[in-house]
Structure 1
Amino acid sequence: MVDRISVVVVDDHPLFRHGVVTSLAGEADLEVVGETDSGEQALQLARTLMPRLMLLDISMEGWDGIVTAEKVSTACPATTIVMLTMSDDKDRLLAAFKAGARAYVLKGVSGQELARVLRAAAAGEVYVSQSLAGEMLVSLTQGKAPDPLQELTPRERDILALIGDGYTNREIGEKIFLSEQTIKHYVTNILQKLQVRSRVEAALLASRHGKPSR
């Protein structure tokens, strides 16, 4: 039995959204569990369905893709966000990744390639359309913040401070009213952003740069 990857599709163009859903329906290991045309509804679906992936358009009425990505990645860190957009603007690409996206795909991509990207994102890989990858690498290199703690969200700073105080994932979850599994995902994100391998290294790095405030 194939362990199917759950996907929520968010795009405010009904015809395009239908085409994406139809394309993904032909993939045995991918399952579209929800779809919507708004960022607000996307957040509700993320909280209710806890999908493995969210395929998100960057340009929408109301909350755009950047705002939606930030809210979903904060509320549901276990959901991996893949941006699917017409925009090849470098600044929007970087903003999407800063908001929590793990992949950025241009809408000209084939259905087969989109499915491949979704599988890669579900496996923890980062993806950027080839035409944008070079520009993104240069921008990230030039604009890297000297203080790695600046890359953390307020919630991640709170959790890092509690790690530094010696609390376990379960104890942190009890303090801030989140499940132990959710805290585990937050800790994984923190380690990745700080480019360290363990909680101890993260706490030491935080102490060197000034313990994050709570």
Structure 2
Amino acid sequence: STLPVTVEQMAYHSACVARGRPRALLAADLPFLACATPERAIESAARLIQDGGAQVIKVEGGAPVLPAVRRLTDHGVAVCAHLGLLPQSVNRIGGYRFQGRDQASAAAIRQDALALQEAGASLLVLECVPAALASEICRSLAIPVIGIGAGNGCDGQVLVLHDMLGLNPGRPPSFSRDFLKGRGSVAEALAAYVAAVRDRSFPGPAETPY
């Protein structure tokens, strides 16, 4: 669960990554309820940027977080929006389940995606939504769309590193692939993942349940 994570913990770990990265864009998540109000979002984002070295702030949710997204972007913060399966909302939605599978929820995700773009979001993560819905949203937006469990029609892909390397002690997510299997190093696995995303062979039919 991501729910116990605090702004202080995110800032610390973000700073660790910032010290080790050569040039990659660094995004940090606002923790649970850190954007409950625009004021709290500004304070939390400042910590992640100033103390953690983050360049992009990721915010989960749709309509309820629009005021916070507007305030952040008005103050020069690059925001990554996040729709579909929202890990910080698992208690409300009943677990880690695919979203947008019925007409009403799909329409809500479409509407939220457009609203977040209008509010100033610089990019969008779509997690665990049907591939057709993700492709449709990607075509309708001017900002980049990054998918995780959302088919190969998005502008880019993201995976949890441990899932990508087959280091999950339990059942792996249905949309992941073990890129370390049959390879001799983590570097080889990461290179294979990058190549598969670029040629759109990942995610394939086996990793696209909906």
Superposed pair shares fold, TM > 0.5: no
Over alpha carbons, which structure has the higher Rg?
1
More helix by share: 1
